[in-house]
Structure 1
Amino acid sequence: MKENISIDEFDGKKFKIRFIKEEDNRKAVLTHYLHNYDNGVKDHFEEEATEYLKQIVEYKNEEEKQNLVSDIALQQLLFEVRDVPFPTPENYTFKFIDLFAGIGGFRMAMQNLGGKCVFTSEWDVNAQKTYKANYGEVPFGDITKDRTKNFIPNNFDILCAGFPCQAFSIAGKRGGFEDTRGTLFFDVAEIIKLKKPKAIFLENVKGLRSHDKGKTLETILNVLRNDLGYYVPKPQVVNAKEFGVPQNRERIYIVGFRNDLEVNSFEYPESFEKKVTFKDVKEKKVVPTKYYLSTQYLQTLVNHKERHASKGNGFGYAIIKDNEISNAIVVGGMGRERNLVIDDRITDYTPTTHIKGEVNRKGIRKMTPREWARLQGFPDNFIIPVADASAYKQFGNSVAVPAIQATAEKIIDLIKAKL
């Protein structure tokens, strides 16, 4: 694969940094190494990072090449990974890893609470781009690969994972560790078994409770409690709307504490008193015309809803009023169609994209990616470096940051109390 090359100049000196092809872990190794340059975690990545630094920096002469990397190049690399909207807290108090990281919703919450991320994994290339733009770090790729797992350092405090759920082949078996092989939960469990973090925080869709007639969740809890040795209270379905964002988004949270910490009770956080509605996240200025529906598309949605209504079904588009909360934002067209809004501030109805029909005159539009970011609790300085289609997918797949943070705070308080 072709490599991109950029040339940087400092103090009149030029050097080249080659950005390595996406499918390997070299960018992840380098950024993790640089992020941990001032602490002991650096050593875990140093051997490979040293070799990669020699590959990507073009030296003026052989004498300069004897050093790991020229001071100018190293300082610029360090600057690039640290000059980001959401850097590691200077005086961090705990360490965590971020698996199935997406765009870093878990990381945002944990850093807000004083945590340092020492390893992250996310295979989607566009999500990696968003992650790097905001945290200065490229996630490692496929966590099912042993090579990727080998980069996970020891002695971190919390394992975070919003892993996809899959059915387990447990017919006639006890539903233990080995029965989860071939699923992504197995890889999470394998890491827990090897690294033994003090606590775990897992997030999944609400449907995990009934997935495969409840066998999936039953197996997960059995593995965590009996095979891996963690105190795991009853999982709880948490709704993001109770934690400061105007979105009806229910997700199941599973938390656990290593048995030697002797934690024997856990209380999930209470709902926030302040309630918000869509007007709290609505764009303050007129949005581009491209977000407004065409007359033909709008009519198609109306017809579709009427057909289902005639059969007694509640399927179809929904318009969210300013004083209401949104439906759950999810990947796919219905995630947007179930969250249309009325915004009559539009003045120019000239189409900016290829559409059939005209721009509708009722002011009906899709929410913008920035509005979806706010629905998930991401601040406005969160960079969205990808096209709209990828942005909708990334925010639809993300965790709701405030709900994660409220629960994580309870976990961290318990860990610190036991140390």
Structure 2
Amino acid sequence: MFKQIAFHPDKNEMHLSYEQKQTLPDNDKAKRCAIERAEEVQANLDPKFPSFVKIMLPSHISGGFWLGLPKKFCDSHLPDKDVMVTLVDEDQDEFPANFLVKKTGLSGGWRGFSHVHRLVEGDALVFHLIRKTKFQVYIIRAFSLGALDGVVSLLTLNSRPKRTSQRGNPLTTTEGTATKRRKTGLMAALPPSEEEKSRSNSDEVGSEVLEGIRFLENTVEFKDIKTIESFTIAVNGLIIDSEIPKDARTKYYKLCCSRGAFLHENLLDGMNINLAAGAISETVHIADAIQTSNVSTSEDNFIAWDKSLAALEQLGMNVGFLRARLQRVKSIASESETDLKRYAEALVGRAHIEKEIITVNGKLAELEKTSKMLDSEIETLETMTNRDEMRFQSVLGSAW
């Protein structure tokens, strides 16, 4: 039996902290970049189907959760009465939303879409009307936690399984709500506002359940953990073991044992489950990469790993010891670069000398052959010279 919890998010929940924004590109620059990328996406869509770009404002993703659509677009392409439209994300998951023709915008259902996809101010959305009341929606992020150096990779570590839904009421089944939980990383349900309840019964988000994620009943200190069986990974009072692959969890346990502490115990308060699990998995991945590196590993790899570890530290992961190890091996690898270069040069030099030796040996053999021929000739000539001397003396000693 799964537990259900009501969760009332702070309206600023989806926004970054001041410190986090300082690590990101300039807000205006990021927004302009999102708009440009959205326009590029729009330019590549099938022109047979109309589309428009919408930039997220605070009112779109918090408070009343109202999304106004371009009036000219609505008049030209949407029905002239209130209808339910379908928003399809890039995973082909569908979200019904209530289109109000007099207000030319989306009300009920838009709030759920916004929360599920963690939209923030400045995000650019491309709405592509692929059917009469169905939009394919492309989300171009302006900035988010994923924009921190090296953290983009963390967000891609999480699997995004398909969701099951019932007509007119997304994620009303236990399986659907649990899948949505894994995808969004929210800790509990996001109840619909009174405004949304009055607009449409079909878009109630309802309470969600946690599948595979349990509440931490008793706080456990790492010193009390003796085996992998008693090792649990808890974030914000929730045990998220099910979100981390078994082999990664085992390796993470060994890393924690090496430091005698949970490496994730100082993660940022309120961090969503997916990002926390991604941070832990990425820590294990980088530790493995460092462990299997060698002196010939590219310096670019060392730089990339250090960049990712720096981002993990910003999230609160205790990875200082990994950065220290990385700096040591990087230093040794750098020092060995000169030796490797000299070694390569020596190998080339030796090959050249060996070639010269072969050449010289060939010449020596030829010279030795010539020397032997000269020795034979000298011996013959010496005999002839002695004979001539004897003949000469014989003539001199004869009578006149």
Q: Shorter-chain TM-score category?
A: under 0.3
Max Rg structure: 2
Q: TM-score, normalised by structure 1?
A: 0.24
User: Greater strand percent: which structure?
Assistant: 1
Q: TM-score, normalised by structure 2?
A: 0.25
